[in-house]
Each structure stands twice: as C-alpha cells, then as structure tokens.
Amino acid sequence: MGLDDRGVERGAKQSWMDRKLGYIQDPKRKTGQFYNNVLKGLYDSYWPYCGSATIFREAFIKERHRQYTLHSKIENLHRQVTYLTSENTACAGKYIKENYIPSPHDIENLQRLSESASKIKDEVEQEINNLKKEDDSLFCSNGKLTSGREFNHSFNEDTTFKMKTFIMDIIDPFLTKITDHKEKKKQVTWKNRGKKRTNQQRDRENKAKVDKRVKKRKRERCKQIFLHLGGIVWADEYYEPSMGATQITDFVEEDNEDKLDDIESILPSKFSDYDRLCLADLVLEGCFQGPALDIIEEYLLQYCIVVS
C-alpha cells in the first residue's frame, strides 16, 4: 500500500493514532502535521512507561507546545538573518560582496547591522542555555536519563546542534565580515579626518599669516603718516602714546585760516582711502589731541569716516 508523508503505511491505523492521545485526523495545517510527528515520537518513547491516556495526553500537549515554540523561534531567527543579508538597501547584501568598497556613510549602517546580528546571536545562545536546563531536568540524580524521555532528550540534542551550527556557519561569519568592514571604515574615516583636520589647520595658519602681513602693512603705513604729520615715534617703532610716543597737538604750517585746507596741504599728494582709514586708526590710538584732533576728525568727516 505504500507509506504516507509521515512514514506510516497508508490505510493502516497505528496505536498512536488515537484522538484520546491528541492525534489530529488528516491535518491540513503545518501545525497539525508537526504535532502528529511529535505525538509519534513521544508515543514510541514514553507510552511504554506511562500506560494512562490522560497522563500521556497532558505530557504530549506540553511537549508539542515546547517543541513547536522553539521550532518557531529558530525559524524566525533564521528569517531575520536572511533579511539582514538580503539586497534590501537597509540590509547587508552589498557589504558582504567580495567587491565591496566602503563609502563615507557606511559605518553607521555597519554598526546597526552588527548590533542586529549580535542580538540574534544572543537570543540563540539564550535558547541553547534554556534547552540545556530543560535537558538536565530529564536526568536522574545518578546521571541516567529518566525512562521514557529519550524522545525529549533526542530533540534537545538535535536542536542544540542545529542552533550551534547556525551560529558557527551563518551568524559568526556574517558578524566577522561586518566587523572587519566596520574597522576598515573606521580607519579610513579617521585617516580622512586627520587629512581634513590638517587642511583646516593649514587654512587657519595661512589666514593667520595673511592677517599678520595685513596688520604689519597697515601699522607701517600708520607710522609713515604719523611721521609725515610731525609726530615722533618712540624707539623708532611705536607711534602709540600708550607705548611712549608724544601726541600731536598742532600742525606747524604757515598761517592759514582754513584749517581743513591746512590738513590737506600737509598730507601726501596721493592720500588714498586706505590712508584715511590708517589716519582714523591713529585717532583711535590717541595720537592726536587738542586742535590737531579737531582738524583730523573734521577732515575724516568729509569722507564719511566717523571715529568714535
């Protein structure tokens, strides 16, 4: 007659195929098929030591729930890893290819993927530990397996092996590859940061040099104007009164009632806008006082330069 997909001879009713024990007739769902497989295995192992349909049914319901729950968890974890390694833009498909080249923003994605895979690994390891405790409870104090629990123990061993293989063959290699890429990307990032930092520092240094040259040029021009207007610098360098130079109080020139003409007449023939800004700086430094200060401020006001 042949065997069906459960390994049972078609048309032959087996002793375990009893609804009182929990058997499901012609199951359509995978859950029912799974339960019947558990029933067959548990019946062969436990029924000879049980003898009570009620006790057996309770043990069966508990065992089928345990096995199916763990089976579902493992399948779900497999699906999670399959998703992580897929070509989805949020996943690691492109990162685990041989021709992968790190890009600037990959490190955040690599870190996220690494954390997700590590979380899955932790869950699998936790299930392995739980299964070990479950399996330990099947043994007597003398170390021998309790009679009738061979099926439970066999499931525990097989499932533990599958979960350890899952970690060793799939999760760990994935984590290793992602971690390697992450570390390489960190090195590239830090290397680039170093270059960027050096360039920024070089820009700051260049700007400082330019500013220094501009200040030196302006200071030199201020000193020239100060000397031209009759001032005397201190120690051949300082025109600021705060550094010891003497303030200019009057402009020495032939009598002329138009003070504005007086200042223009003694200024250099080519007195630029830049020179006027230097003159304003001399005012701010306190290089003039009295009539000389009034003349300078009035002159600068003609060019809309207000010194305050």
Summarize pLDDT for 49-58 with one digit per residue, the tens.
987 999 999 9
Span 6-38, pLDDT tens digits? 444 444 456 899 999 999 999 999 999 999 999
* Residue 212 located in a structural domain: no
The secondary structure element, H or E, covering residue 172 is helix 172-228
Same domain assignment for residues 153 and 249: no
Q: Which of 75-84, 139-148, 225-234 has the lowest mean pLDDT?
A: 225-234
Percent of the chain whose predicted confidence (pLDDT) is above 70: 87
DSSP H helix total and E strand total for the chain: 8, 0
Same domain assignment for residues 167 and 44: yes
Phi/psi region, residue 253 (left: phi>0; alpha: psi -120 to 50; beta: rest), is: beta
Report pLDDT for 146.
93
* Residue 201 located in a structural domain: no
* Residue 193 located in a structural domain: no
Give start and end residues of each alpha helix (H) in 85-171: 106-136, 150-166
Report pLDDT for 1.
41
Q: Is the pLDDT of residue 86 over 60?
A: yes
Which position has the higher pLDDT, 102 or 19? 19
Band of residue 270 on the pLDDT scale cut at 50, 70, 90: confident
Q: Which of 12-16, 72-76, 287-291 has the lowest mean pLDDT?
A: 12-16
Give start and end residues of each alpha helix (H) in 229-268: 259-266
* Residue 10 located in a structural domain: no
Same domain assignment for residues 23 and 130: yes
Report pLDDT for 7.
42
Task: Provide the whole-model pTM.
Answer: 0.56
Report pLDDT for 6.
43
Same domain assignment for residues 38 and 105: yes
| Number of domains making up the chain | 2
Report pLDDT for 23.
94
Containing structural domain, residue 251: 229-301
**What tokens were used for 97?**
């290819």
pLDDT, mean over the chain: 84
Same domain assignment for residues 172 and 257: no
Same domain assignment for residues 30 and 141: yes
Residue 3 pairs with which residues in a beta bridge? 9
Q: Is the pLDDT of residue 208 over 60?
A: yes
* Residue 105 located in a structural domain: yes
Same domain assignment for residues 166 and 245: no
Report pLDDT for 193.
55
Same domain assignment for residues 258 and 170: no
| End-of-domain residue from the set 180, 213, 242 | 180
Q: Is the pLDDT of residue 65 over 70?
A: yes
